[in-house]
Amino acid sequence: MGINSHKLSIFTPMENKITNIKKQLKGLTLQELKGYFEEIGEPKYRGEQLFNWMYNHLSFDFSEMQNLSKSIRQKLDENCQIQTLELVTVQDSPSTGTKKYLFNTADDKKIESVIIPEEDRATLCISTQVGCPLDCKFCATGIMGYKRNLSVGEIVDQYLLAAKDYGKDRLTNIVYMGMGEPLLNYKNTLSSLSIFTDELTKGVSRNRITVSTSGIAPKIIELANSDLRIKLAFSLHSCFEDIRNQIMPINKKYSLKENIEALKFFEKKTGKRITFEYTMFKGLNDRPEDIKALSRLCREIPSKLNIIPFNSIAHMNPGGVSATLEPTPIDKLQEFAQRLRDNNITVMVRQTQGGDIAAACGQLAVKY
Ligand code: SAH
Ligand code: SF4
């Protein structure tokens, strides 16, 4: 199905509010905002007020901030800005209710976020990089290559703009599973988490925020040592080093063994179960020995397993290993899941959603 087949509406870009001259306040944490107001000779509590306007009231306009005096609003308007992204299009999938948001950055890069509604929740999937440098063989974002890290403001604005469109109260979960590897943009990812989990932030609870990583072991340790207490998903895909090496080149730098040690540390330190993500490829990771190895690993680490059907990346016309990857047929996938459940492993089979608007896992890739 064509990518534009269900275009819902087109937002004309807002008049250009994003400049390189004005100071960008969107993306500053509470501490940093307080520091900024101190710097300009205003009381620190103004930082708290601005924090509330930007992150709780979804305000993109200083003139709305009625509890700031007119002179401060004017001063802020002259010197600062609080918008990093423009919402370009929203596409929806009538069959599943999935929505895909396309944003434009100030330097004219395109990024995407997706909302996946389920029975009792709606999950926003956000991006942390433009493209991704890690080149996983099954991932459209990897194939598109790497452009740059997103700023804290750009990470947070995906949520704020999507929440404005969709309704903040309806958005219950955030997953860092869009474009890019969050732990390679560690500092900005951490600041965005610190904004989402701040005591002042009324929104998604920290138990409903998940960062997904392909396995940057030293950063998993750092994340465990931060006091953020968010959840971690690990893109496992195989319990065997040689197969991971084939489909995830990053495994040659940080082996599965090293990552497993880091994950054990994360679980012990935070008390939060690890989610293993397991995309299934025919003949590669759907064999009896995979069931055995997965059962062993899931017993070793308090965890649950998410099995993900492989979403086609044929629209990227990939070559090499990528061209050889095929999905495990769905009945075989269900049987695989059942065999694991028989071994007392907690298994979820993720319904693939949004395939018709190329919004499913690993399909995010903006053509340049
Ligand atoms: N870089 C991070 C987060 C973004 S990818 C990571 O790799 O974990 C989010 C999830 O989508 C990962 O589990 C990834 O392995 C999975 N994924 C990527 N391409 C996919 C595809 N074509 N089909 C199904 N899942 C895919
Ligand atoms: Fe990057 Fe994750 Fe895609 Fe791998 S799966 S290329 S780490 S976005």
* Band of pLDDT at residue 11, cut at 50, 70 and 90: very low
Residue 228: pLDDT over 90 = yes
51 and 199 assigned to the same domain = no
Q: Which of 48, 81, 114 is the last residue of a domain?
A: 81
Active-site pick, 112, 154, 181, 277: 112
Average pLDDT, the chain: 91
Number of domains observed in the structure of the chain: 2
Mark 343-364 as b/e (b = at least 16 C-beta within 10 Å): eebebebeebbbbbbbbbbbbb
Residue-wise pLDDT tens digits, 29-78: 999 999 999 999 999 999 999 999 999 999 999 999 999 999 999 999 99
Burial bucket for residue 171 (CB in 10 Å: 0-12, 13-18, 19+) = buried
Greater pLDDT, 287 or 141 = 287
Tell me the pTM. Answer: 0.93
Say if ligand 1 is within 6 A of residue 308 CB: yes
- CATH classification of the domain holding 62: 1.10.150.530
Residues 70 and 136 in one domain: no
Mutate to test the pocket of ligand 2, among 111, 114, 132 (most ligand atoms within 8 A of CB): 132
Which residues lie with the beta carbon below 6 Å from any ligand 2 atom? 132, 134-136, 139, 141-142, 180-181, 214, 362
195 and 341 share one domain: yes
Q: Is residue 364 part of a domain?
A: no
**Which residue would you say has higher pLDDT here, 12 or 342?**
342
Q: For position 12, what pLDDT does the model report?
A: 41
Band of residue 255 on the pLDDT scale cut at 50, 70, 90: very high
Provide mean pLDDT across the span 258-269: 98
* Segments forming the whole domain that contains residue 266: 85-357
Question: What is the pairing mode between strands 129-131 and 146-149?
Answer: antiparallel
Told to judge if 112 belongs to the known catalytic residues of this protein, a careful annotator would answer yes
Distances (CA, A) of 322 to 81, 256, 269, 318, 327: 42, 21, 37, 6, 12
pLDDT tens profile 78-118: 999 999 999 999 999 888 889 999 999 999 999 999 999 98
Q: Are residues 27 and 66 in the same domain?
A: yes
Instruction: Yes or no: say if 225 and 268 are a contact pair by the CB < 8 Å rule.
Output: no
Strand order in the sheet with 85-92: 7-10, 85-92, 99-105, 110-118, 121-125, 173-176, 209-213, 231-235, 274-280, 303-309, 347-349
* Residue that terminates a domain, selected from 54, 81, 108: 81
Active site residue 125: no
